[in-house]
Amino acid sequence: MKNINLIIPAKEESESLPLVLKKLKKFNFKIMVVLHKSDKKTINSIKKFKIRIVYQNSIGYGDALIEGINKCSTEFFCIFNADGSFKNTEISKMKKILDKENLDFVFGSRYQGNSGSKDDTALTLIGNYIFTKIGQIFFNLPITDILYTFVLGRTSKAKKLKLNQKSFSFCVELPIKAKQNKMLMKSCNSYEYKRIAGKKKVNEFRDGYNILMFMIRYFFQT
């Protein structure tokens, strides 16, 4: 799948990222890892792999993904975690759905059909349910797992959205702006595995507050 570029944001993932990249070697994906140049330990851990390394200008999860999308030259991109929680075989399933239904984006979902998560906590489960409902009610989003960033989409469409959320708020900015630009999207079943090493970077209260504030501001601005 040379027309799909995996965008892998990384921060202090020297233990998990090499294992993820090793598993991806047998697939024909273009791979781009985006991280800050100060993260020397992670950079040194992946030097042996034939991948593109992009250094983000600022910091933040969203900043890394925006940097990756802007530098992506393939027809499609796929956001892929550096912690081993995503299953690479699901990418082909997402691509088939996108092609068959002529969609612009396919969002993985842990909360529909034969799916689930081994990495969710009670707090993130409740928070995700609330934010997903806000997205469905106030922005008419047809997706069922708004905070899950296993996303496959058309690169040209994503670039048109002028994404600017440098924090974890990116995960709601992408579907909200895509919907308001009349782009087509759908959720598909996905299973989230427990991260294979390292620590979570999400701060539930800080990131939850930032996401809520973004959604409120954007609702009243449009």
Domains with residue ranges and CATH for the chain: 4-221 (3.90.550.10)
Q: What would the pLDDT profile of 36-88 be if each residue is shown by its tens digit? A: 999 999 999 999 999 999 999 899 999 999 999 999 999 999 999 999 999 99
Comparing 182 with 124, which gets the higher pLDDT? 182
Q: Name residue, tokens 């598909």.
A: 188
Beta bridge partners of 152: 78, 106
pTM over 0.85: yes
Report the alpha-carbon distance of residue 5 to residue 207 in Å, rounded.
27
Q: Tell me what the pLDDT averaged over the chain comes to.
A: 95
- DSSP at 194: P
Q: Whole-angstrom Cα distance, residue 87 to residue 84?
A: 7
pLDDT of residue 114: 86
Q: Which residues contact 51 (CB under 8 A, 6 or more apart)?
A: 21, 31, 32, 33
Residue 201 is predicted with a pLDDT of 85
Question: pLDDT-derived band of residue 215, with 50, 70 and 90 as boundaries?
Answer: very high
**If DSSP codes are grouped into helix, strand and coil, which group holds residue 199?**
coil
Per-residue confidence band for 183, with pLDDT thresholds at 50, 70 and 90: very high
Residue 1 pLDDT more than 80? no
Q: Check if the beta carbon of residue 192 is closer than 8 Å to that of residue 110.
A: yes
